[in-house]
Chains A and B, each alone.
Chain A
Amino acid sequence: MGRRLLIAVPYLWLLALFLIPFLIVLKISLSDPELAIPPYTPTLDWREGWAGFTEFLSQLDFENFVFLTEDDLYWKAYLSSLQIAALSTLLALLVGYPIAYAMARAAPEWRPTLLMLVILPFWTSFLIRVYSWIGILSTEGYLNQFLLGIGVISEPLTILNTNVAVYIGIVYTYLPFMILPIYAALEKLDDSLLEAAEDLGCSRLSAFWLVTVPLSKAGIIAGCFLVFIPALGEFVIPSLLGGSETLMIGKVLWEEFFSNRDWPVASAVAVVLLLILIVPIVLFQRNEQRQREAEG
Chain B
Amino acid sequence: MTKSLVTTVAASALLAGMALADEVRVYNWSDYIDEGLLEKFEEETGIDLIYDVFDSNEVLETKLLAGGSGYDVVVPSGTFLQRQIAAGAFQPLDYDMLPNAENLWDVIQARTETYDPGGAHSINYMWGTTGIGVNVEKVTEVLGPDAPIDSLSLIFEPENMAQLADCGVHFLDAPAEMFPAALAYMGEDPDSHDPDVIAQTEEMFTAIRPYVQKFHSSEYINALANGEICVAFGWSGDILQAGWRAAEAENGVEIAYNAPKEGALMWFDQMAIPADAPNPDAAHVFLNFIMDPENIAAASNYVYYANGNEASKPLLLEDVIGDPAIYPDEATLANLYTTTPYPSRTQRAVTRLWTKIKSGT
Chains A and B touch each other in the complex, with CB atoms below 8 Å apart: yes
Which one of B65, B83, B173 lies within 8 Å of A244 (CB-CB)? Answer: B173
A137-165 near B? 1/0 per residue, CB < 8 Å: 01110000000000000000000010000
15 contacts between A and B (CB under 8 A): A35-B344, A36-B88, A37-B66, A37-B87, A37-B89, A38-B65, A71-B352, A73-B355, A244-B358, A245-B360, A247-B359, A258-B56, A258-B58, A259-B175, A261-B62
Contact B358–A138 (Cβ < 8 Å): no
Interface flags, A243-262, vs B, CB<8A=1, else 0: 11111000010010111111
Contact check, B65 vs A262: say whether CB atoms are below 8 A apart.
no
Q: Which listed residue, A71, A255, A260, touches B344 by the CB 8 Å rule?
A: A260
Known interface pairs A35-B86, A37-B67, A38-B66; A246-B359 also in contact (CB < 8 Å)? yes
Q: How far is the CB of A70 from chain B (nearest CB, A)?
A: 11
Selected interface stretch from B183-191, B208-216, B304-312, B328-336: B208-216
Q: How far is the CA of A257 from the CA of B358 in the complex (A)?
A: 18
Knowing A39-B65, A244-B212, the reply to whether A260 touches B86 (Cβ < 8 A) is no
CB distance from B238 to the nearest CB of A (A): 18
Knowing A244-B215, A258-B59, say if A77 contacts B361 (CB, 8 Å).
yes
Closest to B80 in A: A261
Q: Mark A50-78, 1 if CB is under 8 A from B, else 0.
A: 00000000000000000000011100110
Counting CB contacts under 8 A, is A33 at the interface? yes
List the A side residues contacting B348 at CB < 8 Å.
Answer: 260, 262
Q: Which residues of A contact B359 (CB under 8 A)?
A: 244-247
Residues of chain A in range 260-295 having any CB-CB distance to chain B below 8 Å: 260-262
Query: Could you say which residues of chain A place their CB within 8 Å of the CB of B275?
Result: 37
Asked if A259 and B58 make an inter-chain contact with CB atoms under 8 angstroms apart, the answer reads yes
**With A37-B65, A38-B66, A139-B228 in contact, do A255 and B355 touch (Cβ < 8 Å)?**
yes
On chain B, the residues within 8 Å of A38 by CB distance are: 65-67
B281 at the interface (CB under 8 A from A): no
- B226 beta carbon closer than 8 Å to chain A: yes
Instruction: Please report whether the interface of chain A is mostly helix, strand, loop or mixed according to DSSP.
Output: loop
Complex: chain B residue closest to A40, CB-CB: B65
Interchain CB contact under 8 A, A243 and B214: yes
Interface string of B342-361 (1 = CB under 8 A from A): 00100110011001101111
Partner of B226, one of A33, A140, A243: A140
A261 touches B228 (CB 8 A): no
B61 within 8 A of A: yes
B73 at the interface (CB under 8 A from A): no
Q: Counting chain A CB atoms within 10 Å of each CB, which of B64, B87, B347, B359 scores highest?
A: B359
Closest partner residue, chain A, to B212 (CB atom): A244
| Residue in chain B with minimal CB distance to A255 | B351
Among A39, A72, A139, A252, point to the contact of B87 (Cβ < 8 A): A39
Does B352 lie within 8 Å of A73, measured CB to CB?
yes
Tally of A-B Cβ pairs under 8 angstroms: 74
- Are B88 and A262 in contact, CB atoms less than 8 angstroms apart? no
Q: Which residues of A contact B226 (CB under 8 A)?
A: 140
Of B61, B173, B212, B356, which contacts A261 at CB under 8 A?
A: B61
A37-B88 contact in complex given A73-B361, A140-B226, A244-B359, C-beta closer than 8 Å: yes
Q: Which residue of B lies closest to A259 (CB)?
A: B351
Q: How far is the CA of A255 from the CA of B87 in the complex (A)?
A: 20
- B88: chain A residues within 8 A (beta carbon): 36-37
Report B-chain residues with C-beta under 8 Å of the C-beta of A72. Answer: 361
Residues of B within 8 A of A138 (CB): 228
The reply to whether A257 and B62 contact each other, CB–CB distance below 8 Å, is yes
Closest Cβ of chain B to A259, distance in Å, is: 5
CA distance A73 to B351 in the complex (A): 11
- Cβ-closest 9 pairs across A and B: A258-B58, A244-B358, A244-B215, A39-B65, A35-B87, A37-B67, A247-B359, A245-B359, A259-B351
Contacts of B227 in A (CB 8 A): 140
Max count, chain B CB within 10 A of own CB: residue among A36, A39, A71, A161: A39
Bound complex: CA A150 to CA B215 (Å): 32
In the complex, which residues 282-302 of chain B have their Cβ closer than 8 Å to any Cβ of chain A? none
B62 and A258 form a contact (CB under 8 A)? yes
Query: Of B56, B62, B361, which contacts A247 at CB under 8 A?
Result: B361
CA distance A245 to B357 in the complex (A): 9
Q: Which residue of chain A lies nearest to B222 when distances are taken between CB atoms in the complex?
A: A134
B214 close to A261 (CB less than 8 A): no
Q: Given the complex of chains A and B, what is the CA–CA distance between A186 and B215 in angstroms?
A: 44
- What 0/1 readout, one digit per residue, does chain B (13-43) give for beta carbons within 8 Å of chain A? 0000000000000000000000000000000
Known: A37-B64, A71-B352; 12 extra A-B contacts, CB below 8 A, are A35-B83, A72-B361, A73-B352, A76-B361, A140-B227, A244-B173, A244-B215, A244-B358, A247-B361, A258-B56, A258-B59, A259-B351
Chain B residues with CB below 8 A from A77, complex form: 361
What residues of chain A lie closer than 8 Å to B173, measured between beta carbons? 244
CB distance A161 to B214 under 8 Å? yes
Most A CB within 10 A of own CB, among B56, B89, B214, B361: B361
